A and B are shown apart, each in its own frame.
Chain A
């Protein structure tokens, strides 16, 4: 009924990091020499000063104990409001509660774009169909 515009970025269900056997070694919000998502500072109602994200903007890089490194992307355009700092001190929460306490970031799309962004996302059902297809193709 109400559209809130605020988006919370979390790991998708099928993400490798959420599969059995993976242990997180470290999480790094420093995505380039000049850019750390931890430096993001917003002020006021309009969230001035926020880092602006495009779909392929990296949010963080996560390393697992088996040597793999995963880059987590924003996937949507908008202002970065906050990143979840509690996963830095407690990485396990990212795997235990990926859709709530283990969220990655909060993003606020532009007002004009928010409707089209929402429409561009998959519903839970559509996502499951994608996974099914992927599974069938690799089988």
Chain B
């Protein structure tokens, strides 16, 4: 049923008398034409009152022509042109002196508490759009989400029971699902207005969300008799409901209030690779008991600039593995990703990303970023995957207590696929479970320096503790460099690197 018919007259009268607004009346009469709801409130009120005074079917026919005329005049356009005033002047005003023109103050609807009254009109739309514009977000579409106070559901139920009863007298039925949902009607009316004002379409899948929370303190007590309102409404018997709640619902004094209008953008993801050149920089902030133990961190040095450019609320940093504070990451770097939460800016060209990368690299000599780019959430998952399969390449500076000669370490180069048993290193044992891990050193290459030092390049399975392989960790990693050389060995420096060829440590 796209519009009102003769049959609806008694219901319309009943609801008008009990203080229900025109749009809610449409809903209970199953009016499905969106355009009808979009007429300005004042016009609808007059509309209905006048239609009630028509004696016959022909009179009700008056309702259709203006609408038909509207449709004809705005053929294929999106029906969001709200200035219907010119057209509605055609509606005959019958008995204009007795037609109680008491429209000086608008009665607050006893069902929607003003949601389909004030809060569909231009003033409120303006208020919302002003808030959105001042929040300064970048967006190409929006989703408008509305939170309504629970008493609306309760009042809806009471109104339905009232209407059902009345229709029953006429031998008609009205199923709950036949009624047009309040939220749906609300969106029919407000979406086109918001869309026009903001200049972008409404889209249920949009990442940019504008949300409004409505409250009606005056009637908050009404729901007391129901626990978990929505669930209870499903279960409660009609008689029990009517015992606790007035039918028809009472007319409130006040409108709802819009408590808050908030905007939120879906997260964006930035990925890249980082190099770490400092031996005194943790990956994430090092804070114990509220005290920062080391200045800055890889995470902060990278995200500081991203946060500023994207104007996000917060970030989440993740990487494919990580290195110790005192270990450098050379070569093509370690993959990382940053989730930027609720960013105000979301569009960046490849040029702009390059500039952003340059800014980060210019800001500190402790780290360097490359391949900075916007990625999807799925890409992050792929980055973390295969962390176990990755092979790592390292360079370690080794010290020995007893003197060594070139010949003493040459044999290391010939060892392939060396199996290690590594108990959880003592240095992490306080926060990791005790276990033995079997790990493989694929290849090694030694570079003699002097009688107590040499450099060792190793290619190992992911998850191998290199430091422990060098010093043995109280014999809890076997074999280890010390046991292989029959000396006491220790590690002075460690770098993570990609080996281009054995002679070079760095690739740029």
Contacts and interface: CB of A to CB of B under 8 A. Distances in A.
Interface string B401-423: 00000000000000000000001
Contacts of A14: none
Chain B interface mostly helix, strand, loop or mixed? loop
B433 A100 contact: no
B426 interface: yes
A93 B431 CA distance: 29
Contact of B426 (A8, A44, A45): A8
Contact of A101 (B293, B432, B433, B475): B475
Contacts of A4: 426-427, 430
A63 to B, nearest CB: 23
Nearest to B431: A45
Contacts of B423: 82
B293 A108 contact: no
A45 B472 contact: no
Given A1-B293, A2-B293, A100 B475 contact: yes
B106 interface: no
Contacts of A86: 475
A86 B473 CA distance: 14
Interface in B121-179: none
Interface string B465-479: 000000010110000
Interface string A28-64: 0000000000000011110100000000000000000
Given A1-B293, A45-B433, A81-B434, A101 B427 contact: no
B429 interface: yes
Nearest to A46: B433
A1 B295 CA distance: 13
A82 B475 CA distance: 13
Nearest to A50: B434
A130 interface: no
B430 A6 contact: yes
A42 B474 CA distance: 19
B430 A101 contact: no
Contacts of B429: 6, 81, 106, 108
Contact of B430 (A1, A5, A43, A103): A5
A47 B293 CA distance: 27
Interface in B422-466: 423, 426-427, 429-434
Contacts of B472: 100-101
Contacts of B432: 45
A6 B476 CA distance: 14
B430 A100 contact: no
A6 B475 contact: no
Interface string A6-37: 10100000000000000000000000000000
A43 B293 contact: no
Contacts of B433: 42-45, 47
Contact of B474 (A2, A5, A101): A101
A55 to B, nearest CB: 20
Nearest to B475: A101
Contacts of B430: 4-6, 108
A77 to B, nearest CB: 15
Nearest to B423: A82
Contacts of A47: 433-434
User: Which of the listed residues A1, A5, A101, A108 has the most CB atoms from chain B within 10 Å of its own CB?
Assistant: A101
B20 to A, nearest CB: 62
Contact of B434 (A2, A5, A82): A82
Contacts of B426: 4, 6, 8, 106
Contacts of B288: 2
B384 to A, nearest CB: 21
A84 B429 CA distance: 15
A8 B474 contact: yes
Interface in A70-86: 81-82, 84, 86
A135 to B, nearest CB: 28
Contacts of A103: 474-475
User: Which of the listed residues B427, B434, B488 has the most CB atoms from chain A within 10 Å of its own CB?
Assistant: B434
B261 to A, nearest CB: 45
Nearest to B286: A2
The 9 closest A-B pairs by CB, nearest first: A101-B475, A5-B430, A6-B429, A6-B426, A103-B474, A6-B430, A100-B474, A44-B433, A42-B434
15 contacts: A2-B288, A4-B427, A6-B429, A8-B426, A45-B432, A81-B429, A81-B434, A82-B434, A84-B474, A86-B475, A97-B475, A100-B474, A103-B474, A103-B475, A106-B429
Given A6-B426, A81-B429, A101-B474, 19 more contacts: A2-B288, A2-B293, A6-B429, A8-B426, A8-B474, A43-B433, A44-B433, A45-B432, A45-B433, A47-B434, A81-B434, A82-B423, A82-B434, A86-B475, A100-B475, A100-B488, A103-B474, A103-B475, A108-B429
